[in-house]
Amino acid sequence: MICLKNKFTQFYLVSLAMIALGLIEIYFNYTNANTTERLYFGFLKLFVGAMLLVFAITSHVKFNTNRKQLERELSKDYDERDDLIEGKAAHFTISILMIVTILMMFLSKWITIPTNTALMIIIVFSLITSTLAKKYYNHFL
């Protein structure tokens, strides 16, 4: 969200800079009556800057209304039940992870287990148990 705010600020700055450059170019072309060929580029820069400013304002307003609507919808869907499910699933996953780690430590006395393989087994077990625990608690709570 911070990145998008900076993006809108950059849109505003670029559009205002284009407008300013167009106005400066038009002013200097009118004071120097010998050159008339650059007069159209000043108007073009002014027009492009104005269009960018309109685009930045409409995008900013649209983003703010969509964000507020999304926050309202998410606050309705998220309740204490989701917190309870996340907590129970995390507790179950940590319990299984400790059992797998102790089992691998016990087996490593007799079997040579490479570190990468051991870490991969732990990651796979934690992913599987976390997913299954969330589905289990979501179904029964």
pLDDT one digit per residue (tens) for the chain, 141 residues:
445 556 778 878 888 888 888 888 878 776 665 655 545 777 888 888 888 888 888 887 777 776 766 666 666 555 667 777 778 888 888 888 888 888 888 888 888 888 888 888 888 888 888 888 888 877 776
The Cα 94–Cα 122 span in angstroms is 11
Q: Which two tokens stand for residue 37?
A: 């060929």
| Cα separations in angstroms, 11 against 36, 42, 46, 65 | 30, 20, 15, 18
Nearest C-alpha neighbor of 133 from the set 81, 89, 103, 100: 89
pTM (two decimals):
0.42
Collect all residues with Cβ–Cβ distance below 8 Å to 30 and sequence separation of at least 6. 39
